[in-house]
Amino acid sequence: MIYPSEIKTFAALGGGVIGSGWVARALAHGLDVVAWDPAPNAEANLRQRVANAWPALEKQGLAAGASPERLQVVGNLETCVAGADFIQESAPERLELKLELHAAISAAARPEALIASSTSGLLPSEFYASAAHPERCLVGHPFNPVYLLPLVEVVGGQHTAPEAIEAAKAVYRQLGMRPLHVRKEVPGFIADRLLEALWREALHLVNDGVASTGEIDDAIRFGAGLRWSFMGTFLTYTLAGGDAGMRHFMQQFGPALQLPWTYLPAPPLTDRLIDDVVAGTAAQLGKHSIASLERYRDDALLGVLAAVRQAKHDHGIGTDD
């Protein structure tokens, strides 16, 4: 089978935070988008989310012909996927639901259409078990906000064809993304496993009364988070080893891994812990609405991304590094 590596019509199933992010990204790259979501008021909510994202996309730069007017919201799954080159499902994280959805999606889609799921941790071999032509089915796990953050984790199941993986990576590149092929089908993939470890430790710090949610966020955004945005963990620690690099770092700081600094298992989600987390984040929100903070986040991300691109250019570092 020859799968499309360039697409014109993008189908989106699900219009929540992730699904609407896919819709906005596809529209910004000049594609026709057909969307379906069975929830009440789905079309109005989807169009509002796209409208909220559009100013950031305009600042980033739109492809020729890009317009929210190229979004068509339809009334059923079959109409949504029938003419699509690429299908992105962003339904809730329930295995039974995804099994049912992908059996229906794959039956209604053209045989050469690629089918991807935005799942953040379910395994493709499980929820594509009843799919027609499972060799073209995979995971394309994005990160919020989908319309700005470039990373997408591409994961194949036991029946996924290598050609489908390569074609999907090409499609995601067409959408301005950085596809990362996850080599093994593991729960949580790569990025969420790392984020989950940090999240568990953050909950312990709140639970133990060590810090508030705002103080923990400050520890990230004024420290390691700034380095992570352009260098990641391993390269950051390589520089911490001085001229001797990573080997010296491992020799010097490796023994600290045996110290009881972290818990790793999550604390019990007691009512008190949940109340403390909710109260802390409410204090952080203050009088700001979620929509206004989304726009703030988008502008901040655009600034960071622009600064990293400029620094790479100034230092002769390739854009893929």
- Write the CATH number for 232: 1.10.1040.10
Same domain, 139 and 27: yes
pLDDT at 320 over 80: no
Q: Are 43 and 176 in contact (CB under 8 A)?
A: no
Same domain, 152 and 65: yes
Residue 197 lies in a domain: yes
- The distance from CA 28 to its chain's CA centroid, rounded to whole angstroms, is 17
Same domain, 56 and 177: yes
pLDDT at 140 over 80: yes
Same domain, 40 and 129: yes
Q: How many percent of the chain have pLDDT more than 70? A: 99
Same domain, 127 and 230: no
Q: What is the spatial order of strands in the sheet that 137-141 belongs to?
A: 71-73, 32-36, 9-13, 86-89, 114-117, 137-141, 151-156, 178-181
Please identify, among 181, 206, 237, the residue that sits at the C-terminal boundary of a domain. 181
Show the tokens assigned to 85. 């080159």
Same domain, 141 and 195: no
The range of the structural domain enclosing residue 147 comes to 9-181
pLDDT tens profile 13-55: 999 999 999 999 999 999 999 999 999 999 999 999 999 999 9
Say how far apart CA 89 and CA 110 lie, in whole Å.
15
Same domain, 246 and 167: no
Q: Are 138 and 156 in contact (CB under 8 A)?
A: yes
Same domain, 177 and 255: no
Question: Using the 8-state DSSP alphabet, how is residue 257 labeled?
Answer: G
Residue 137 lies in a domain: yes
Residue 164 lies in a domain: yes
| For residues 147-168, average pLDDT | 97
Say how far apart CA 195 and CA 197 lie, in whole Å.
5
pTM assigned to the model? 0.92
Residue 315 lies in a domain: no
Residue 305 lies in a domain: no
| For residues 295-314, average pLDDT | 93
Question: Which pLDDT band holds residue 259 (cuts at 50, 70, 90)?
Answer: confident
SS3 category, 202: helix
Neighbours of 74 (CB within 10 A): 16
pLDDT at 319 over 80: no
pLDDT tens profile 100-131: 999 999 999 999 999 999 999 899 999 999 99
pLDDT tens profile 263-275: 888 899 999 999 9
Residue 186 lies in a domain: no
| For residues 148-154, average pLDDT | 98
Residue 254 lies in a domain: yes
| For residues 229-247, average pLDDT | 90
Same domain, 76 and 202: no
pLDDT at 216 over 90: yes
Residue 245 lies in a domain: yes
Number of domains in the chain: 2
Same domain, 30 and 173: yes
As a whole number, the mean pLDDT across the chain is 95
Same domain, 20 and 117: yes
Same domain, 159 and 43: yes
- Write the CATH number for 27: 3.40.50.720
